[in-house]
Structure 1
């Protein structure tokens, strides 16, 4: 009850402050277009206000939001958050596996103990599977889902903290790059201010979190990406690949940051996406219920919108292709299958996104979804003819 009241209070406070600010901002809008100095002042005010909103959750006491653990509901395949009870309700093997996976994420690859801890985690997971017991499989899934989420969060923090000026350029870049009138230019500039404020708000919020500070300087983003692939493979072996796919498809912020990341990190992220796209194809083939296909269709849409731009831009690698020729061809077929599962409007969004990034990336000609684009155009043309 206290948690819900605190959440509601924060939501009301945020809504009230936002409404008051934008109400007070209306007079400035009338004069900002006529005076460059007022435009500058207004941009500073908007940036400062949005920064304050991003910082507000960190300033408020919220111990109830920090004591959570993951448990897996095997009937629905969903990761649920429940308040931790101090570990007394968990079996010892579950606590052991959770601890080992946490250490694997924290310890740098350069440490001579890394392979020891990694091998221990492998052994615990494999032994639980070999017993063929459903409770032990659930132990694996619960610990792996929590580790995947934690590593994903650490990876995003590492990309934000160590991305440098190239990410700031990406934050403030204008997507269309075209010209326009004074109002269009103004709002485009305001959008850049909003994105920059959000970027810096995320940085400050993460640095205020003591948990995210743990060993961050010693763990590279590339290492975390490689461990995400390993965790996804283990989750697939334990029968909870759908949860990994759902988490990865919803990581839009990380996908956006990856477009300006180091090429080696981009290659590692492409490998994670390629593996999970394969799992999405297999899950779709195995789905036999309409509600299950509906959930998978939504996940497929999020996956394509989030990670298709990176596939278009980062498939070549620094010296060799990230994926083999056969793997690229197979993945193209997978992408076409996933696009075919979407409705006509969703296909338009995905294919429009693909065409934009595919066209403006001179260093890569993959994935080539020309056939899917042509089929969508034909279907759209037929739909129009049926209406007339």
Structure 2
């Protein structure tokens, strides 16, 4: 329904209607990005809590006065306590598993919606709003590294669209935004699952993204290039993927650095 209304607004071509489209999409993009971050935070937080569970009852008993001696007389109690705690832990793990699955489904739905919004913002000439917000989404970028592969796939597609827009002819993007986007989101390209049976990005799309990264890097100060390329090299050398390959950008930065030294 939202798609139809926005398309009708765009067909009329009136500036007020286009402004409504852009404002609504920018607001929805910000809200959905935040919801996706929260969903990934809860999903991965549940896993961490479950993995960090431990047998606290034994430590409590041993901490009591003369606890070392008491333990030999309360073996039966410890067996009972262990059985009870095991039952509780199993129920909790099952509940955590259910909650984790729900959060993953929610995150996938939100990521899919965010991809749609990104494409619409680009179509309506307001992708700069998404670029600004994406450049501040360091928390989302961090959680996306260990997100479900389906969620990762959508986030990779979003990032690929925005990376290509960094060097769009119709946009003037500040160096700070370029730097933050490259710094926060390049690791995802290195470490995300690119899909085997159904690749997330086509070969042509990957080439376009590499070209956009190289062009965006070339507009940054040498110090910023050093930070981005150093981090990229560390990720690239340990990643299973051979993309993005920024060897040309790295060589160019090395050559320019030598000229400064000499």
Task: Report the TM-score, using the length of structure 1 for normalisation.
Answer: 0.52
User: Per residue, is there more helix in 1 or in 2?
Assistant: 2
| Secondary structure of the corresponding residue to residue 260 of structure 1 | coil
Partner of 2:43: 162
5+ long unaligned stretches in structure 2: 51-101
Contact 1:301 1:346 in 2 (8 A): yes
Does structure 1 residue 381 correspond to structure 2 residue 262?
no
Deviation at 1:277, TM superposition (A): 1.1
Partner of 2:192: 314
Contact 1:267 1:315 in 2 (8 A): yes
Deviation at 1:302, TM superposition (A): 0.9
Out of 138, 148, 173, the residue aligned to residue 252 of structure 1 is: 138
Does structure 1 residue 359 correspond to structure 2 residue 228?
no
Does structure 1 residue 261 correspond to structure 2 residue 155?
no
Does structure 1 residue 337 correspond to structure 2 residue 221?
no
Deviation at 1:316, TM superposition (A): 2.2
Task: Report the TM-score, using the length of structure 2 for normalisation.
Answer: 0.75
Inter-CA distance 166–302: structure 2 relative to 1 (3 Å threshold): farther
Contact 2:104 2:148 in 1 (8 A): no
Contact 1:315 1:323 in 2 (8 A): no
Deviation at 1:321, TM superposition (A): 2.6
CA-atom RMSD in angstroms: 2.0
Does structure 1 residue 371 correspond to structure 2 residue 248?
yes
Which structure has the larger Rg over C-alpha atoms? 2
Cα deviation 1:12-58 (Å, max 9, x = unaligned): xxxxxxxxxxxxxxxxxxxxxxxxxxxxxxxxxxxxxxxxxxxxxxx
Does structure 1 residue 146 correspond to structure 2 residue 24?
no
1:357 & 1:139 partners in 2: Cα distance?
A: 41
Deviation at 1:164, TM superposition (A): 4.6
| Secondary structure of the corresponding residue to residue 364 of structure 1 | coil
Contact 2:135 2:181 in 1 (8 A): yes
| Secondary structure of the corresponding residue to residue 220 of structure 1 | helix
* Equivalenced residues, count: 211
Contact 1:264 1:317 in 2 (8 A): no
Inter-CA distance 121–280: structure 2 relative to 1 (3 Å threshold): same
Partner of 2:11: 130
Inter-CA distance 315–165: structure 2 relative to 1 (3 Å threshold): same
* Structure 1 runs (4+) greater than 3 angstroms displaced: 164-169, 216-219
Deviation at 1:165, TM superposition (A): 6.0
